[in-house]
Amino acid sequence: MKNVALTISGNRYEVSLEDNFVDFVNKDLTSSDINFHTDNKPDKLLKAYLNLAKRVMSHENEIELILEALDDV
């Protein structure tokens, strides 16, 4: 387990995550311009979440199309 820590509106939050998941979370938050060592505004975290949700929706749609194509085979 590894820790991820963020400061949001002056409050510091720390969570323990599985090692391989921490790498994904760190990369995703960094690409969303979330800072690990300075304060973040809540809107930045919301935007990061929405970007991730959009990617998940896109992946789910792709999986559905693949499953439909497999059903037709």
Q: Count CA atoms closer than 13 A to 63's CA, side-chain side.
A: 6
pLDDT tens profile 11-65: 999 999 999 999 999 999 999 999 999 999 999 999 999 999 999 999 999 999 9
Res 43: pLDDT: 96
- pTM of the full structure: 0.79
Length of the chain: 73
Per residue, what are the HEC states of the chain?
CEEEEEEECCEEEEEEECHHHHHHHHHHHHHCCCCCCCEECHHHHHHHHHHHHHHHHHHHHHHHHHHHHHHHC
